[in-house]
């Protein structure tokens, strides 16, 4: 048995469209009921369970007479509007038969990008869990715009896991884990544990998920699991058919072990749920200070400023080659910074006043970014 599963007090489970719908795109109530049966023991035993569920758009296809998932945003939003109500109603009935209440929570990226919205969402979810309610979370597809959206529910689930300070993230699909090759195209071995990015070297994730009614795939699940692990959580990738076994602690699927420490909610918000308003290009010395020594960013190490941002906005810190290395909350407006670049704080204080004798970004407002593979 996996002790980190049985000992988890708060668990986030994400299920994809392909695990809830028929090939034609309609909601498969039998598959949904089977999933709920696997989840109920965790919720009924007093544990805190959050369900991030895709399926709204897929559930709306059949009622609207659509043969396949639409490509245009307007029709996707119409399908989501029709399908979301039937999806949550089915969940409410299935959980209700076990005496478990559910609550619908629809999020847009704005709800976690803006810090005040992020705090409000966290407070609401915490209270639902304290009341014994299972929050059913989905992206608010009916109103989300192409420019501001999570992109897939795997990423949303990882953000929610950080948002509610979960102990475990379980990502369910139609594949029972991560393989070293595509199991549908020939022999492949299940990767049972991932302890660092070195364990992912050379793996091929393309084509290992279902492309019919969903929008994600194995690649998005890997990135979501890495995101969770970077903030001190365990994550499991497995199939919906293995949901009960995974939540019992059986050794199924692929486990991503924590690669970073637990961090304050504010820093998790900063790393994973903000959109940068600008960029600060650093010299090599400043990169080393921020990344290796976890020091505050001083004006002397900044080469250039990009963007129009205000004090308190999130900005990316990039190395001399333009690669983002960190994100932080800047203490000055963009218009103030050009006169400060390359100069010491003592020099700036002598010329401009004591308010300029401080960091551009304090180390407590800095978070290193998860490197891409």
Per-residue pLDDT of the chain (373 residues; tens, 9 = 90+): 899 999 999 999 999 888 988 876 678 889 999 999 999 999 887 789 999 998 888 888 888 888 888 888 889 889 888 989 889 999 999 999 999 999 999 987 777 767 778 888 899 999 999 999 999 998 876 665 554 456 578 888 998 998 899 999 999 988 899 998 877 788 888 999 999 888 888 774 433 343 333 445 788 899 899 989 988 999 999 999 999 999 999 999 999 999 988 877 677 778 877 789 999 999 999 999 999 999 999 999 999 999 999 998 899 999 999 999 999 999 999 999 999 999 998 999 898 888 888 899 999 889 998 665 4
pLDDT for the residue 73: 80
pLDDT for the residue 220: 87
DSSP 241: G
Domain positions in the chain are: 3-268, 276-368
pTM to 2 decimals? 0.81
Q: How many CB atoms neighbour CB 251 within 10 A? A: 12
Strands 134-139 and 48-53: parallel
pLDDT for the residue 333: 95
pLDDT for the residue 215: 43
pLDDT for the residue 71: 84
Q: Which residues contact 36 (CB under 8 A, 6 or more apart)?
A: 91, 94, 95, 98
pLDDT for the residue 312: 87
DSSP 55: -
Terminal CA-CA length for the chain: 31
pLDDT for the residue 206: 38
Q: Which homologous superfamily is 276-368 in? A: PUA domain (2.30.130.10)
Q: How many CB atoms neighbour CB 253 within 10 A? A: 25
Alpha carbons within 13 A on the beta-carbon side of 275? 11
CATH ID of 3-268, from 3.40.50.300, 3.40.1160.10, 1.10.3480.10, 2.40.50.110: 3.40.1160.10
Q: Which residues contact 326 (CB under 8 A, 6 or more apart)?
A: 290, 291, 316, 317, 366, 367, 368, 369
Strands 254-256 and 193-194: parallel
């Amino acid at each position: 048995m996996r002790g980190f599963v049985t000992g988890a007090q708060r668990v986030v489970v994400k299920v994809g469209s392909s695990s809830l719908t028929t090939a034609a795109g309609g909601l498969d109530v039998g598959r949904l009921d089977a999933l709920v049966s696997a989840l109920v023991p965790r919720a009924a035993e007093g544990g805190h369970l959050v369900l991030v569920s895709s399926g709204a758009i897929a559930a709306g296809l059949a009622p609207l007479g659509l043969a396949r998932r639409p490509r245009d945003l307007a029709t996707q939003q119409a399908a989501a509007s029709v399908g979301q109500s039937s999806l949550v109603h089915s969940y409410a009935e299935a959980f209700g038969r076990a005496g478990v209440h559910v609550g619908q929570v629809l999020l847009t990226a704005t709800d976690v990008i803006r810090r005040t919205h992020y705090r409000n969402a966290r407070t609401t979810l915490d209270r639902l869990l304290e009341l014994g309610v299972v929050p059913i979370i989905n992206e608010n597809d009916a109103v989300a715009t192409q420019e501001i959206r999570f992109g897939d529910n795997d990423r949303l689930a990882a953000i929610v896991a950080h948002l509610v300070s979960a102990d475990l993230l379980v990502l369910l699909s139609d594949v029972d884990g991560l393989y070293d090759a595509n199991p549908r195209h020939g022999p492949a071995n299940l990767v049972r544990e991932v302890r660092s990015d070195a364990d992912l070297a050379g793996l091929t994730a393309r084509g290992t998920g279902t492309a019919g009614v969903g929008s994600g795939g194995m690649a998005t699940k890997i990135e979501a699991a890495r995101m969770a692990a970077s903030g001190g959580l365990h994550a499991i990738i497995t199939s919906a058919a293995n949901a009960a076994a995974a939540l019992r602690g059986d050794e199924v699927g692929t486990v991503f072990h924590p690669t970073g420490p637990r961090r304050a909610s504010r820093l998790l918000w900063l790393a994973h749920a903000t959109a940068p308003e600008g960029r600060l290009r650093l010299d090599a010395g400043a990169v080393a200070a921020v990344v290796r020594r976890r020091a505050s960013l001083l004006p002397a190490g900044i080469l250039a400023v990009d963007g129009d941002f205000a004090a308190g906005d999130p900005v990316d810190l990039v190395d001399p080659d333009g690669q983002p290395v960190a994100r932080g909350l800047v203490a000055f407006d963009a218009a103030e910074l050009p006169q400060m670049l390359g100069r010491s704080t003592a020099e700036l204080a002598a010329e401009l006043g004591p308010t300029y004798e401080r960091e551009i970004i304090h180390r407590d407002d800095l978070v290193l970014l998860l490197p891409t593979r």
